Amino acid sequence: MTAERTPFTDESPERTRVGVAEFAVASGDTRLTTSGLGSCVGIALADPTAAVAGLAHVMLPDAPDDDRGKPAKSVEQGIKVLLTELEDEGADLERVEAKLAGGSQMFDFSGISEAVGERNVERIHATLADRDISVVAEDVGGDYGRSVELTPETWTLKVSSTHQGVKNL
């Protein structure tokens, strides 16, 4: 796990910030957060029965030749490490489901970087389908950025953006 844990206060839940190309797994009322989801996608996976969930901030649909030690840089690798860690923390992989946020088209590029967000979302759907994991909610696409906060205990993914406000998935 490469995320940074920071407690709010003695009375508030712990918060773990997940950076770009990173992931984290938690249980109970620990909050997993990530920001800066433009073309990147926040993949939340959980076993709601076990109240164990994880969040990966993936950048690319395909693995680059050099991932520079970032465990969740690509869709396939991000999902793989997240599922391994979820299972290690007591999740039953047959009960795991997914929620997604991000995958925007932030800039009008032509060429190789075109539609990275859309390609990320397509690859995530295909990779999860290959593992029989259902996407139960998503807030993807558009042309604006998002931040997310995942609460394993309630299996709530709060998606925030300046353009769309706050949505609970």
Confirm if 39 and 145 have CB atoms less than 8 A apart: no
Q: What is the pLDDT along the chain (169 residues), one digit of tens a residue?
A: 445 544 444 456 799 999 999 999 999 999 999 999 999 999 999 999 999 999 999 999 988 766 567 889 999 999 999 999 999 999 999 999 999 999 998 766 555 556 899 999 999 999 999 999 999 999 999 999 999 999 999 999 999 998 889 999 9
pTM, full prediction:
0.89
> In sequence order, which residues have a C-beta less than 8 Å from that of residue 57 and are 6 or more positions away?
18, 19, 20, 21, 22, 23, 34, 36, 37, 40, 41, 42, 72, 78
Residues in the chain: 169
- CATH number belonging to the domain at 4-168, selected among 3.40.50.1370, 3.30.1330.200, 2.30.40.10, 3.30.70.100: 3.30.1330.200
pLDDT at 61: 93
Marked catalytic residue, from 3, 18, 24, 40: 40
pLDDT of residue 67: 57
Domain range summary for the chain, segments of one domain joined by +: 4-168
The backbone torsions φ and ψ at residue 134, rounded to the nearest 5 degrees and listed phi first, read -85, 140
Task: Verify whether residue 40 is a known catalytic residue.
Answer: yes
CA distance 2 to 22: 6
